[in-house]
Amino acid sequence: MSAGLDEYNRKRDFDATPEPSGSAKPKRTAAKKRGQAHALQFCIQKHDATRLHYDFRLEIDGTLKSWAVPKGPSLDPKIKRLAVHVEDHPLDYASFEGHIPEGHYGAGDVIVWDRGVWTPLSDPAEAYAKGKLKFELQGEKLGGVWNLVKTHIPGKQEQWFLIKHQDESARPEADYDVVKALPDSVLSDRTLIPKKRGGKAAAPKPVESIPATRKKPAKAQLSGAAPGELPALLKPELATLVDSAPEGDWRYEIKFDGYRVMARVADGDVQLFTRNGHDWTHKLPRQAEAIAALGLESAWLDGEMVVANEQGVPDFQALQNAFEAGRSGNIVYYLFDMPFLNGMDLREVPVEQRRTALATVLERSEDEVLRYSQDFDEVPDALLNSACQMQMEGLIGKRSGSPYVSRRSGDWIKLKCKRRQEFVVVGYTDPKGARSKFGALLLGLHDADSGELRYAGKVGTGFNEATLGTVFDQLTPLQAKQAAVVNPPTGFEAKGVHWLKPVLLAEVAFAEITKEGSVRHAVFHGLRNDKPAESITEELPAPAPTAGESAEAEAETAASPKPAKPAKAAKPAKAAKSAKADTTGSPKAAKAKAAAKPAQPAVTSGKIRLTHPERVIDPTTGATKRDLADYYIRISEWLLPQLAQRPVALVRAPEGIGGELFFQKNADRLAIPGIETMGKEYTGHPVMLINNIEALVGAVQMSAMELHTWNGVAQDLERPDRFILDLDPDPVLPWKSMVEATQLTLAVLDELGLTSFLKTSGGKGIHVVVPLTPKADWDAVKDFSHAIVKHIAKLLPDRFSAVSGPKNRVGRIFIDYLRNGLGATTISAYSVRTREGLPVSVPINREELLEIKGANAWNIHNVHQRLAELDEDPWADLTKTRQNITAEMRKRVGLK
């Protein structure tokens, strides 16, 4: 533990706060002792505590030196911002966002308002000691030269001033207030809703069901309405995720699990657009007809397309199935806003008045596919509790009196459902990697009917070094020889388990309890002893686990040796219908799943036994091996064309992302059904090919997570058909630097006359893919890509490095050309990465670079919705591109 963090640790109870502990040894300090250079990071956190303020933090000597800036930074050199010096924070605090619980130091919400690299203009430790720091910032929002100057103002804490230096980044405060103009997080979709100071929120009222909607209001005046031309396109207002309901006058609606769709009416003609501006009118003819029947002259309507399941709850999978099966008539269009109506621009009209007008318009319709999204007159906490009990997603809150804006806004918020209850602690696992004391707690619940204590999964997140120690001290006296649960895990799941007497209770937050009785996305919140363990059952009703259920699963697969490339991204992945993870082992279920036909023209059937489907592979989200198999099956229509006939290497993770990883280039000792191999003449060992779903799911069964491919195909492995430039940044660089670097790289390729395509890496970087007509050999292509990298690095040496290794990319971006040699591989598009959250490498359009906040923007949980909203595959033209490396190109990058 750093001595500089003593005060930080003294002020915090890490059993209760989600803030990172300062007990871990700072990695950067160790690096410095070894004489390794590194870029220094800074961050500014927007902190809604007793007062809303901004915490300015600079990395110096292994910790974050910190100042509280009440009004936030100003770009005006004439304005001195007071900066109160506070305790040092650990380096990993730079990425912390979350809610610090009431009653604890700094209670309130925290977001990362800005982050990046800072460069001291003199020795940082010496300047800090003198109280006069001059430095340059390279962040998402702030740039240029700044000063931090200690004052002689008396007080309990040191008073400093944060002052912008006069340079090209400076702007007068009267012209531009950066704090007001850019309020959001640079890491997530969070926006802080400042709390009302003083007063108390109403106590939540317990309710048994969704309460009655508000009484229909009288017809309201449309104050603020103005004549206005109907825009050809209109982006929707987006809601900001918050941790709790803010005070004030808010109206709450149910959060639908569907597709956001905007309806444009012009002279009676109706068009339906997705949130990204893609025309889906042809997909939703029934809904378009219903809108047309309203008889409006012109309008923009905002709503959500939804399909309900048998319980009447919105079901996103059912919605996708409705599109796939051509049953769009089953889709209900819930409307909740109306920014334009009959020649009038209503965007400045208060939301409650717009909604009253919308309700009046919808009175004209008796069509069941159009419905008004009601808001509810109830305390939000109680309403959220009811929505969660009904297994809905959560709530959308809208601030009364707010206008309609085409961006993410703090006036619209979303509250998501979280379940939380006590579980009996029945065991724990051994720690892995850098973890100490224990890995995860095994949980149990009593069956409400039989009283049997049954295994309910594990919780491995929510602990820090302090809680690991205090919890472990309470576990060791309770060790038992046998499991207290009647259905203990077996095989790999039981490896390294220490059983306990069923005495302790753990309070755990989680997303759901599966039909098999295991928690998903579990997070530990503390131990408690105020209830008898015998009384702990599942608090919300759910189907009981089937007796004798197997710990194994069969996945029905339909495989095609020549998968078809999707013509348009707007089609949801049809392969999802061809194969699903089956954990029942039921022949009847297997027949039902096999009946669904895949998108591929040539079909063969097969079975893959998926063992231990409930094994958690990502403790941060609770994602399981079955979730991974389901993802690869659903994405197969997109993924298989990327794998087709390309040698593939696997990254296997038998113990999940936190365990040891194995990079495997050949199929030796891997009995993967459906896998194909080629001879040893190229690499000395047979290479693998994954050309069908059977092999894809078989690879998952063998614990494969990542799929890496060659830059050549089996028909001609002597000549590559592409090269890839992997932009790999210093991790502390802001995403804005990554965007600029990618644009510069694209500009160089454009200047050379080479068409290129982009994809996110699923990690920190971007991959630039340049297709080639197979002609040059591997050495020639690698040499050419190396020359491009050296050319770019020579043009901008302060931004790029052409030499690999962390020490060569300090504050810069290494453009990795080494992936272009014979046998070298790159992560495949649509492959999962072995990182927290299971991000996915995803093809993107150039303009999307400016829209996303990182190369890990998509993961196995949200990439399908992205694909469903696309009109066209961003890589639709990649295989059609014909281009060669010419003598002129070689000459321009310095090759003979």
Structural tokens at position 9: 């640790």
* Cα–Cα distance, 291 to 200 (Å, whole number): 44
Sign of CA dihedral 584, 588, 589, 594: positive
Burial of 76 (0-12, 13-18, 19+ CB in 10 A): buried
Tell me the Ramachandran region of residue 365: left when phi exceeds 0, alpha when psi lies from -120 to 50, beta otherwise. Answer: beta
Q: Show Cβ contacts of residue 300 under 8 Å, excluding neighbours closer than 6 positions.
A: 230, 231, 234, 262, 263, 264, 265, 338, 339, 340
Contact (Cβ atoms closer than 8 angstroms) between residue 683 and residue 822: yes
- Active-site residue, selected from the candidate residues 255, 437, 782, 790: 255
- How far is residue 319's CA from residue 334's CA, in Å, rounded to a whole number? 13
What kind and span of H or E run contains 358? Answer: helix 351-362
- The total of other beta-carbon atoms located within 10 Å of residue 353's CB is 20
Query: Cα(57)–Cα(85) distance, rounded to whole angstroms?
Result: 10
Alpha carbons 632 and 623: distance in angstroms, whole number: 13
Q: Would you call 804 helix, strand, or coil by DSSP? A: coil
Closest CA to 820 of 867, 776, 783: 783
Evaluate whether 480 touches 453 at the Cβ level (below 8 Å): no
Q: What is the longest distance spanned by two Cα atoms in the chain?
A: 81
Q: SS3 breakdown of the chain: % helix, strand, coil, rounded to 5?
A: 20, 30, 50
Spatial separation of the C-alpha atoms in residues 585 and 606, rounded to whole Å: 15
| Cα 692 to Cα 606: distance, rounded to the nearest angstrom | 11
SS3 22: coil
Look at residue 683 and give its three-state secondary structure. Answer: coil
Host H or E run for residue 432 = none
Rg of the chain taking only CA atoms, in angstroms: 29
* C-beta separation of 600 from 560 below 8 A: yes
Query: Is residue 71 a contact partner of residue 162, using CB atoms and an 8 Å limit?
Result: no
Q: How many CA atoms lie within 13 A of 717 on its CB side?
A: 20
Q: 């050296």: which residue's tokens?
A: 790
Annotation says 853 is catalytic: no
- From 637, 644, 570, select the one nearest 600 (Cα to Cα): 637
Which residue, 191, 294, 205, 301, is CA-closest to 246? 191
Could you say which DSSP state residue 327 is in?
-
Specify whether the CB–CB gap between 73 and 54 falls below 8 A: yes
Tokens of 489: 């895990």
Tell me, letter by letter, the H, E, C secondary structure of 734-769: CHHHHHHHHHHHHHHHHHHCCCCEEEECCCCCEEEE
Tokens 């290497």 locate to 649
Q: Which residues are catalytic?
A: 255
